[in-house]
Amino acid sequence: MKNNIKIGNLLILLTVIGLVFAIAIVIKTTNKAEIKFVELKGNYHLSQDEYMKFAHIENQEDYYLLSPKIIKDRLEKHPYIKRVDIIVSENTLIVELFEKNFEALLITNGNEFLITDETILIPKLPNSEKIDFPIINEPSNPEKISEFSSATENLDVKIGLKIITALKIINAKLFESLSEVNLRNGKDIILQFSNLNVPIVIGRNNEIKKIVLFERLMEKLDYSKIENTLSYIDLRYLSYLYLGESRNTKGEQESNSWKII
C-alpha cells in the first residue's frame, strides 16, 4: 500500500515537472515569435543601420532566433552606448538607445578618439555623425594613449580637457566656438575659435588663469573693429597680453601689449 502511494506521488511529481518544462518551452517559443519588428530610438552619433549591423539584427528573417534580452545585450556592447531600454509592444521590440556623453575629439598619430564625460577614450568609428566637439590635437607622449583607457593618464590630454572644462564654466559662448586645443607636442598651446580668425597662444603653465584672462579680454575688446588687423593674440604672460598685428606696408609685423589688471 505504501509503495503504491510512493509510486503515485512520484508520478504526480514527474507530471508537474513535465508541465513546468512544457510551459517554459511554450513561453520561450512565444517570446521569440513575438519579435517581428525592431524599432530603434535615441541614436545620434551613428545611424540606425550602423547600430543594427553591429548587433547583427539587420536581417528581419532572423528575428525568430532572438530574444529581447539578446538584442539588448548586443547593443549594450557597442562602444558608443551607455544603456539600452527595451519595450515589447505586440510583435515590435522598441529599443531606446542612450549614447555616452562625449566632451572632445582627440587626434593623435593619425588616430581619432572620442573622450567621454568619464574621460574614457573611445575609438571614433567610421560613418560617425554629428561629431562637433572641440578637438584636442598633438599631445606629447602619444605612444602611451590607447583605446578604452583613461584620457587623463596622458598629462597633456589632461591639460586640454581642463581648458575645455574651464571655458564651459566661464563662458558658454566661447566654449561653443572653441574649435581646437593644439598641444603641439609639448610646445606652446594654441587655441582656435570658430568666431575668431586668429590663433590664441596661451603657452604653458597657469592655463586656467590665462583662460580667465582671455575671457576678460573678449569682454573689453571690440574684436569686430580690429579682426582684420590681427595675426595672433599672445597670452603667454599672465599680466600682459600681446596683440600681433598684420604686416604693415613695409612688410614688418608689429605687436602691441596691454596690461590686464
CA gyration radius, the chain: 30
227 and 142 within one domain: yes
239 and 124 within one domain: yes
6 and 39 within one domain: no
Block means of pLDDT (10 residues each) for the chain, length 261 residues? 54 60 46 76 97 95 92 97 94 96 96 97 97 97 93 96 95 93 96 90 92 84 66 80 59 49 41
40 and 29 within one domain: no
223 and 130 within one domain: yes
Residue 195, pLDDT score: 85
Q: Per-residue DSSP letters for 221-255? A: --HHHHGGGEEEEE--STTEEEEEEPP-TTS---E
The enclosing domain of 75 has a CATH number of: 3.10.20.310
Domain total in the chain = 3
Residue 232, pLDDT score: 83
Alpha-carbon torsion angle 207, 213, 215, 218, nearest 10 = -130
- d(C-alpha 138, C-alpha 156), whole Å: 9
111 and 10 within one domain: no
175 and 48 within one domain: no
- d(C-alpha 256, C-alpha 248), whole Å: 13
- d(C-alpha 17, C-alpha 19), whole Å: 5
121-123, strands of its sheet edge to edge: 121-123, 111-116, 102-108, 135-137, 178-182, 189-193, 200-203, 230-234, 240-245, 255-259
Host domain of residue 214? 102-259
Reported as type and span, the H/E element at residue 72 is helix 68-76
**Opening angle at CA 185, ends 181 and 186, nearest 5:** 90
Residue 2, pLDDT score: 47
132 and 233 within one domain: yes
* Boundary-marking domain end, from 62, 80, 99: 99
188 and 82 within one domain: no
Query: For the chain, give me the number of helices (H) and strands (E)?
Result: 7, 13
Can you tell me which residue has the cell 597657469? 206
**CB hemisphere CA count around 25 (13 angstroms):** 6
- d(C-alpha 111, C-alpha 117), whole Å: 20
90 and 133 within one domain: no
* Boundary-marking domain end, from 70, 99, 128: 99
109 and 68 within one domain: no
152 and 56 within one domain: no
